[in-house]
Chain A
Amino acid sequence: MAKENKNYLSGKEIRAIAKANAKEMKRLEAYKNRKAEEHEFLSQMKSSENILEIEDLHTFFYTEQGVVKAVNGVSYDVPKNAVVGVVGESGCGKSVTSMSVMRLIQGPTGQIVDGSIRFKAYDYKRDEKGNPIPNGADGYEMEEKVYDIAKMPIHEIHRIRGKQIAMIFQEPMTSLNPVFTIGEQLDEVTFIHTPGATKEMAKAKSEEMLRLVGIIPENVYGAFPHELSGGMRQRVMIAMALAAEPRLIIADEPTTALDVTIQAQILDLLQDIKNKIDGSILLITHDLGVIAEMADYVVVMYAGKVIEKGTVYEIFQDPKHPYTIGLQKSKPTMSLDDGTELYNIPGNVPNPINMPDHCYFKERCAKCTLKCSGDYPGMVQVSPTHFVACHLYDGVEDNG
């Protein structure tokens, strides 16, 4: 029955895919689990202003249907003390990129294939045995190091996670361990990342963090996650992310699973925290409104690639890419209530398994030119901070 249907793969093709996948996955798994000296994954930042530089990142999923190129050559930077918003529709690879930064991609199907993720870490200086060196006072000596997270062996990743980069997830309902109390889960962060932490220290820190996110610690510290509402749990998640004072917080659709009034509260909280902490936020969302409110810089992604990036003013006041323009037009506003229909971008995202060679947006684009059937457009710099990947702007490069 499958034979007659041209939309289905043949048995032979499936076996070929499986064989090729198995080989690649084995190679990448071995690379992930390899033993490596520290210098092998140390690197240099391109610009000292940045805290995170993602360059030409490729993250693939080796499925039975073929290789899904979820992230296919993504580059963007997160400057110090800035909020970078990543926007794009579901499945465009924005979450996979952030998961790659945390190295949380589920193997063996999901693998970082190529590219680098440079992160400027501020960590304890360690002696040969890996123990932190005390600085004479009640602290320890610190140093700045640039790690290439993509090249780190997986067993070294605990240097980054939690302490340097913390993450807030989309599903607050299931992201807390149901059998431990909130207090236990919060204290744990301090125990992991502060050498010589005592129970009292951890508790004090946890309570401080809870207060910071607007929770009265006495009510929640001893409670189990199921006793809290979704919004409360997301606050706890934020408190947990803040506890180790990371340089970068990745918030992966932090408000999507919450209802509207709670969403606003959590956004206010993030806004508030942004001003209080000494670090950057990478905010991933499909909600343009959230981006406009929170972000300093915006990255627009489409089908595994960055198609436009710039400051929040550039992207909102002067969008260049037809997709970005379409995205903004399709946002409902009150003033538009004049009988005109809400704009929607025609067509669909191409299938991630079998991407065309030309611009991925070509089929849906109203401003298509002959050039669009050619190579995939390169990044064009239209202002010092504004980049776009579209043939319409070829040759209008502005480097001043």
Chain B
Amino acid sequence: MEELKNQQAAPEAADSEAPLDKNVRLMSPTRMVVRRFFRSKLSILGLVMVISLFLFSFLGPVIYTQWGEIQLDESGKTEYSIAETTYTVNGVEYTLRQTTEKYLKDNFLAPPSAEHILGTDNEGYDIFVRLMYGGRISLTVSFIAVFLITILGVVLGGVAGYFGGAVDNVIMRLSDVLMCLPGVPILLIISTILDASDIDAKYRIYLLMVYLTFISWTGTARLVRGQILSLREQEYMVAAEAMGYSTFRKIFKHLVPNVMPQLIVQMSLSLGSMILYEATLSYLNLGVKAPYAAWGTMINIISTNQDILQNHLNVWVPAGICIVIAVLGFNFVGDGLRDALDPKARR
């Protein structure tokens, strides 16, 4: 947090690093970050959005146990269809109204009611409950993906930056290549491969996201590498070198704290984009497949069923809103963190 310390004095007022007076009380670096973060109403809003979605998805199914993820409402439903036929007999019009009553086992496309808070979908699953389970998948998958991307990125970027030379060259050229790979279309191929290898529908999305991490680590790696390269030039690193600090101490005392803020920001921002990725894949029917629920999968139905798109908004709009809340929440938090941790940002 070296940079944060420099922030303590007003940048314009004190162009030198005036040593602190014993009598003067300043803001601690941690408090400064916290304060900056909470000063923005948007980051508070983002935090609220993210936390409530987490509670909804992970605690929700524990509390609200009326329906399960793939539990059909078999209370049945009667469908009426009316057919009218008009006959003209001797100039007089007669209308024959024929009502067909059809009893169906599943209560599908039910409107919102006390029984089903958001109604049921075209199969007869409870939408409200599926939103919770969908949230579990989306949030878990995104967290795993971001975690893997970060680890891979930090290791590869760190190795490239620290060792330099041929190692750096190989890793960076590899990242150049991966950056030129098209995102979704490559996942289309990978998805086809997964189709071919008979993976359980439940685990498919996880595998897909693992593949995604293999091509998505480049941004993090570049960030870490860039930081290390620039830090190596910094005076205090030269000083640490001159004082004969061990490599371990140099890395953990100086490099890690400097990369950390940017890494945290990057992670929270990529959480948003991973949720978006997962939802898109599920919408394209490449990710989580029926009967399991994911927010994207729940919207997928409208690409083939115009009736639901137009007349049963309760089936697909809630899932879309959940995606927006999640992505927006993580983006707000990430942006707030960036402002809070970036020493150059001032207000």
Contacts and interface: CB of A to CB of B under 8 A. Distances in A.
Query: Is there a contact between chains A and B in the complex with CB atoms less than 8 Å apart?
Result: yes
Interface of A: 1-2, 5-9, 11, 13-14, 18, 61, 63-65, 68, 70, 89-91, 93, 95-96, 105-106, 109-110, 348-354
B16 A90 contact: yes
Interface of A is mostly: loop
A109 B27 contact: no
B82 interface: no
A9 B27 contact: yes
A351 B21 contact: yes
A14 B34 CA distance: 12
B10 A11 contact: no
A8 B4 CA distance: 14
Interface of B is mostly: loop
A14 B31 CA distance: 9
B28 A2 contact: yes
Given A61-B12, A63-B13, 13 more contacts: A7-B20, A8-B28, A9-B28, A11-B31, A11-B35, A14-B35, A64-B27, A64-B35, A68-B9, A70-B10, A93-B13, A109-B12, A353-B24
A62 B30 CA distance: 20
A92 to B, nearest CB: 10
A228 B160 CA distance: 36
Interface of B: 8-10, 12-16, 18-28, 30-32, 35, 39, 346-347
B21 A1 contact: no
Contact of B26 (A8, A61, A90, A349): A8
A89 B17 CA distance: 12
Contacts of A349: 18
Contacts of B12: 61, 70, 96, 105-106, 109-110
A9 B13 contact: no
B30 A9 contact: no
A68 B21 contact: no
A5 B20 CA distance: 14
Nearest to A304: B13
Nearest to B39: A18
A350 B21 contact: yes
Contacts, number: 91
22 contacts: A1-B30, A2-B31, A5-B28, A7-B24, A8-B27, A8-B31, A9-B26, A14-B35, A18-B39, A64-B35, A65-B10, A68-B9, A70-B10, A90-B15, A110-B12, A350-B21, A351-B20, A351-B21, A351-B23, A352-B13, A352-B14, A354-B21
Nearest to A70: B13
A171 to B, nearest CB: 12
Contacts of A89: 16
A109 B25 contact: no
A96 B11 CA distance: 12
A309 B35 CA distance: 43
B10 A109 contact: yes
Given A2-B28, A8-B27, A91 B16 contact: yes
Contacts of B28: 1-2, 5, 8-9
Contact of B18 (A8, A109, A351): A351
B13 A2 contact: no
A65 B13 contact: no
A89 B19 CA distance: 14
Contact of A64 (B16, B25, B32): B32
Given A70-B13, A91-B13, A65 B8 contact: yes
Contact of B10 (A9, A68, A348): A68
Contacts of B30: 1-2
A22 to B, nearest CB: 10
A90 B21 CA distance: 16
Contacts of B10: 61, 63, 65, 68, 70, 109, 352
Contacts of B25: 6-9, 13
Contacts of A13: 25
A12 B323 CA distance: 37
A13 B27 CA distance: 10
A9 B9 CA distance: 14
A95 B9 CA distance: 16
A113 B242 CA distance: 47
A64 B33 CA distance: 12
Contacts of A351: 18, 20-21, 23-24
B8 to A, nearest CB: 7
Given A61-B13, A64-B35, A68-B10, A354 B18 contact: no
- What 4 pairs across the A-B complex have the smallest Cβ distances? A351-B21, A90-B16, A351-B24, A2-B28
A2 B19 CA distance: 19
B22 to A, nearest CB: 8
A349 B24 CA distance: 12
Contacts of A105: 12
Contacts of B347: 109
Nearest to B35: A14
A106 B39 CA distance: 21
Contacts of A7: 20, 22, 24-26
A16 to B, nearest CB: 12
A95 B11 CA distance: 13
A64 B20 CA distance: 16
A350 B30 CA distance: 24
A1 B25 CA distance: 15
A91 B263 CA distance: 34
B19 A348 contact: yes
Contacts of A11: 31, 35
A87 B45 CA distance: 49
Contacts of A353: 24, 26
Nearest to A69: B13
A65 B26 contact: yes
Contacts of B20: 7, 351
A315 B24 CA distance: 33
A192 B274 CA distance: 52
A135 B4 CA distance: 59
A91 B14 contact: yes
B21 A348 contact: yes
Q: Which of A61, A89, A350, A353 neighbours the largest number of chain B CB atoms within 10 Å of its CB?
A: A353
Contacts of A2: 28, 30-31
Q: Which of A89, A110, A352 neighbours the largest number of chain B CB atoms within 10 Å of its CB?
A: A352
A105 B12 CA distance: 9
Nearest to B8: A65
Contacts of B22: 7
A61 B18 CA distance: 16
B15 A91 contact: yes
Contacts of A95: 15
A300 to B, nearest CB: 18
Nearest to A348: B19
Contacts of A8: 25-28, 31
B35 A91 contact: no
